[in-house]
Amino acid sequence: MRIGGVVLTIWIEVGPLSRAVASSSSQSAFHSSAVVQVASFRRRRARAVQKENLAKRAEREKLAEAQRPHVVVGHRPGAEVKWTNCDLAKVIITEKDLEETEAVDCPLGSVAMPKHLNYGVGEREKEMVFDTLPQLSALHTVASLSHGNLSMTRLQERHDEVIPIERFKSRMLARVISLKNANAKGIAFENRRRIIAAFSEPSNPHDTGRPEVQGVFPPQSQRRNICNTRKTNA
């Protein structure tokens, strides 16, 4: 009994201690699990907030980039009216302008005249080529065919026959001397000439050193063409 009593006494003394240790371990485990869950939740929440902030920042940067003036053309997207209404746009010649023609009444009939002729063909040259020269050519043709043996009626008939030929020559010549047939350097030269004349003082129409003239070189049209080419090839 004593041994049993001792054993019993030890069991009784150890039993509550074991339950106390087990209870303490269970409470500690429960407490540690809650802390870990809270910390994990905070980390997930922080990552979500960071991701949301990065998305908002990217959206703001995208919007700012869309509204930022273009480094080449100088205005914001959708603000083309600023370019079309400026003085420079009204001076320079574009590809669209090269396609335009206008009907001009000449002595031998109407001719579809390009609005922009090649360098060296001014109003004086145009009058000589399309007014004077066709009439002289027609008279010369009639005179060479008559040999002085035709009546005035027959000469008039020959003259009427030659008129359509001379009119055709005038129309072909108008196409040949159109600025559309010039190369890129020729068109750029004409644009520079027009810019200098437009932005110089009337007293000095060829003032290339004027600040207003220097401020538009190279012409904005060339920069816009380069920009459009890069967009097309992208």
Instruction: Evaluate whether residue 112 is within a structural domain.
Output: yes
pLDDT over 50 at 183, yes or no: yes
**How many structural domains does the chain have?**
1
pLDDT digits (tens, 9 = 90+) for 68-81: 776 666 667 777 77
pLDDT digits (tens, 9 = 90+) for 188-200: 888 888 888 888 8
Check if the beta carbon of residue 219 is closer than 8 Å to that of residue 199: no
Q: What is the DSSP letter of 201?
A: B
Instruction: Evaluate whether residue 17 is within a structural domain.
Output: no
Helical pair 152-176 and 133-146, crossing angle rounded to 10 deg: 140
Instruction: Evaluate whether residue 185 is within a structural domain.
Output: yes
pLDDT over 70 at 13, yes or no: no
Instruction: Evaluate whether residue 191 is within a structural domain.
Output: yes
Tell whether pTM > 0.85.
no
Instruction: Evaluate whether residue 42 is within a structural domain.
Output: no
Domain with 114, as residue range(s), is 81-233
How many angstroms separate the Cα of 91 from the Cα of each of 17, 134, 197, 222? 102, 32, 10, 13
Burial of 101 from C-beta contacts in 10 A (0-12 / 13-18 / 19+): middle
Instruction: Evaluate whether residue 49 is within a structural domain.
Output: no
pLDDT digits (tens, 9 = 90+) for 206-229: 888 888 787 776 655 566 666 555
Average pLDDT score over residue span 27-51: 77
Instruction: Evaluate whether residue 220 is within a structural domain.
Output: yes
